[in-house]
Amino acid sequence: MRVLWAFADVQERLNSSKWRIIIPSEALKRAGHRVELINMPQLDAGTHHFRPQDFDIVVAERELFRNPERILKWQEHVPILASFDDAYHLIPASVITSRVWKQGKVKDDEGERPIITQFKKLLRQLDGYITPSELLTSDYLTINPHGYTIPNYPDLNWDCWKAPRREPDGQIKLVWGGSLTHYDSWRYSGIVSALNRIFDEYDNVSLTLVTQDLRIPALFAGQPPNKVRYHKGVEFEEWPRLLAQFDIGLAPLHGEYDRRRSWIKVLEYCLVGLMPIVSGYEPYLKTRGVTVAKPKNWWKAIKIAIDTHQMWRDSEGPRNDRIWALKQGIDGHTQEYIDVFNDAIERKQNG
């Protein structure tokens, strides 16, 4: 199959585009399909040498508002699917890009309209869309009934997934890493007060926050640097090696926006041997780890994990978690994309 993938992230700061575009495109190439990559500005502006007739399907990521006329012109010749992983219609004010999605405008010959309106308008006209969340997919079925759910699958060919497991040294190191969209996850989930209590009770427990969002470390104002550490981040493919230096991985969530996230954090934790402690939200309900059903339960869950960590480490727990995570490698799931592509192609051929 001939597939053109258009990614939305800036080349130097690939994040969601890695999961939604780069990883699946490279896996399809390994599976013998013809794959080409461009970015969304190139697709919007036509600054590339490709023709729609050269492909069986096009996958366009996220930015369905800059030049819809050009995309629709391509659609006359080839099916076009959107791929996105964010609940833009529910984005909270604490997320920096909320200003774009809530207040941003686009102009064309028909006038001016909000970006989210244009996003939905073009989505309605495309041949379908793919998200990593069943709940997020269902949100848009009234706009376009051809919605598909394909989870974010890691590329297990990367050497970084083979990083050696941290050796016990009497310290228990907690970790979380995330983008600029998780402030509410921390502020309102109940995890901050639970961790402050944990720090008072355990001298050997610390937390490292790997994020560019300085508001999250600020929630722990007053804690000494040996308790709460800040790390501004690493390159995308170096993240697993950094994770392997810790013991317990945290994944707090809060609100409707967070319910539509993917399962990435649990997968990453399981692959490198961390015990996951996660909010009892849809992204994590069918995965692994300790699930926290209510905000008031965070303290108890973390305390039990700390007290039993060595026992868990010596058990089959890490091995079983890794076995589950290894089944989620992208190379074992490329057929999910091919099935979606074939469905879209068949519908277009049949009119």
Q: Say what the pLDDT of residue 85 is.
A: 96
To the question of pTM greater than 0.75 for the whole model, the response is yes
End-to-end CA distance of the chain: 20
Nearest residue to 231 via CA among 206, 209, 205, 216: 209
Q: Say what the pLDDT of residue 75 is.
A: 95
Q: Say what the pLDDT of residue 351 is.
A: 76
Common-topology check for domains 2-155+330-349 and 159-326: yes
Nearest residue to 69 via CA among 101, 46, 100: 46
Provide the phi-psi class of 129: left if phi over 0, else alpha when psi is between -120 and 50, else beta.
beta
CB distance 132 to 151 below 8 Å: yes
Tokens of residue 327, six digits:
């089944």
CATH architecture of 2-155+330-349: 3-Layer(aba) Sandwich (3.40)
Residue 169 burial by Cβ neighbours in a 10 Å radius (0-12, 13-18, 19+): exposed
Question: At 245, is the secondary structure helix, strand, or coil?
Answer: coil
Q: Say what the pLDDT of residue 203 is.
A: 97
Q: Say what the pLDDT of residue 173 is.
A: 98
Q: Say what the pLDDT of residue 11 is.
A: 74
Q: Which helix (H) or strand (E) holds 4?
A: strand 2-7
Q: Say what the pLDDT of residue 102 is.
A: 87
CB distance 209 to 228 below 8 Å: yes
Axis crossing angle, helix 115-125 with helix 68-75, rounded to the nearest 10 = 0
Q: Say what the pLDDT of residue 116 is.
A: 93
Q: What's the rounded Cα separation, in Å, for the pair 60 and 62?
A: 7
pLDDT by 10-residue block (mean), the chain, 351 residues: 95 86 98 97 91 96 89 95 97 93 82 89 97 98 98 96 91 96 98 98 98 97 96 91 97 98 97 97 96 96 97 96 97 98 96 76
Nearest residue to 27 via CA among 325, 342, 326, 334: 334
Helix extents (H) in the chain: 16-17, 23-30, 40-45, 68-75, 98-103, 115-125, 134-139, 183-188, 191-201, 215-218, 239-243, 255-259, 264-272, 298-307, 309-314, 317-326, 334-349
The position carrying tokens 């780890």 is 289
The three-state DSSP-derived secondary structure of 40-104 is: HHHHHHCCCCCCHHHCCEEEEECCCCCCHHHHHHHHCCCCEEEECCCCHHHCCCCCCCHHHHHHC
Q: Which helix (H) or strand (E) holds 188?
A: helix 183-188
Going from N- to C-terminal start, the domains of the chain cover: 2-155+330-349, 159-326
Residue 87 backbone phi and psi in degrees, to 5: -85, 75
Q: What's the rounded Cα separation, in Å, for the pair 122 and 6?
A: 16
Q: Say what the pLDDT of residue 106 is.
A: 85
Residue 36 backbone phi and psi in degrees, to 5: -130, 145
Name which CATH class applies to 159-326.
Answer: alpha beta
